[in-house]
Amino acid sequence: MSLIRLSSVSHTFSTATGPLPVLDSLDLSINEGEFTAVVGPSGCGKSTLTRLIAGLLIPDEGEVWLHGERVVSPRSTVGMAFQNPVLLEWRSILKNVMLPLEIVSSGMPAKEQEQRARYLLSLVGLEGFEDKRPSELSGGMRQRASLCRSLVHKPDVVILDEPFGALDAFTREDLWQTMHSLREQEPFTALLITHDLRESVFLADQVIVLSGRPAHAQHVLDVDIPGKRTLEDLYTQKATEMLAELRQQIQIAQGKTAVTP
């Protein structure tokens, strides 16, 4: 059974200039433990999709299911991380990571909560930075802390909305590798929104290409790279073909004539 399922989801925003249809009969399914990436033209409805899954927005039509339950209100079992890590400057890194545990009643004893936060910080290479303030860390380190915060309450699914978008290329690649090692130690289900096709192929088990607005699932690519992935895997013929396929699909989504790769 899929952990997340969207069936025929349509949604229209009302704006000052009239109705704006954003999603149109979107179907999508994510299995437990799977890493799904979503790519699509800018403004096509990717962030809207994340809000629907988190229950922050209820669709006009269609259904969103999480763990066999219809999503009709905000879900605390969803962890989220964004391009801007939004850490609270008046709290230490450790206390920032522990924040969801204060909001969601986890039933975890206080000592265990702190141990879990420290453990996650050590997994992402932030051991020794627990007592620092966010402004004392680099952008990449802040994003690492934000990832820990999105995982600390053991959510059913982690939604990552362009979390690496603002980072330089080398920091981004470091974080991709951190994501893989995090998943090894601490398996989770993830939905990653990205505009970086290499990132989607490196991190995901399946890549969903959304069409232009109003968006539906235009194309699904299964990323069949077995075993532990390294950056070199992005330069194999297989990966090159997958990237060409995605690039072609994005062009179609943007309404451009697809060029032969």
Pair of tokens at residue 98? 């522990």
Helices (H), 186-236: 197-203
- Interface residue with ligand ADP among 4, 6, 9, 22 (CB under 6 A) is 22
- Provide the minimum distance between the beta carbon of 164 and Mg ion in the complex, in angstroms, as a whole number: 14
Regarding 20 and contact with ligand ADP (CB under 6 A), the answer is yes
- Provide the minimum distance between the beta carbon of 239 and ligand ADP in the complex, in angstroms, as a whole number: 25
Q: Which does 79 bind (CB under 5 to 8 A by kind): Mg ion, ligand ADP, none?
A: none
Distance from the first to the final alpha carbon of the chain: 36
- Interface residues for ligand ADP in 24-53 (CB under 6 A)? 42-48
CA–CA dist 3, 195 (Å, integer): 24
DSSP conformational letter for 212: S
- Provide the minimum distance between the beta carbon of 99 and ligand ADP in the complex, in angstroms, as a whole number: 24
Q: Residue 229's CB: how many other CB atoms inside 10 A? A: 17
Beta bridge partners of 80: 159
- Provide the minimum distance between the beta carbon of 47 and ligand ADP in the complex, in angstroms, as a whole number: 3
Considering beta carbons, is residue 47 or 76 the nearer one to ligand ADP?
47
Q: Which does 163 bind (CB under 5 to 8 A by kind): Mg ion, ligand ADP, none?
A: none
Half-sphere exposure of 6 (CA within 13 A, CB side): 26
Q: Give the x-and-dash track for 149-188 against Mg ion (CB under 5 A).
A: ----------------------------------------
Report the SS3 class of residue 153. coil
Regarding 83 and contact with Mg ion (CB under 5 A), the answer is no
User: How far apart, in Å, are the Cα atoms of 159 and each of 54, 88, 192, 242?
Assistant: 8, 20, 6, 23
Half-sphere exposure of 238 (CA within 13 A, CB side): 10
| Binding residues for ligand ADP, total number by CB under 6 A | 11
| Binding residues for Mg ion, total number by CB under 5 A | 2
Regarding 47 and contact with Mg ion (CB under 5 A), the answer is yes
Pair of tokens at residue 152? 């600390």
Interface segment toward ligand ADP; rule CB under 6 A; list 14-22, 70-78, 105-113, 200-208: 14-22
Considering beta carbons, is residue 125 or 165 the nearer one to ligand ADP?
165
DSSP conformational letter for 33: T
* Structure-token match 């992005």, residue found: 234
Site for ligand ADP, rule CB under 6 A: 13, 15, 20, 22, 42-48
Summarize as ranges the residues that interact with Mg ion (CB under 5 A).
46-47
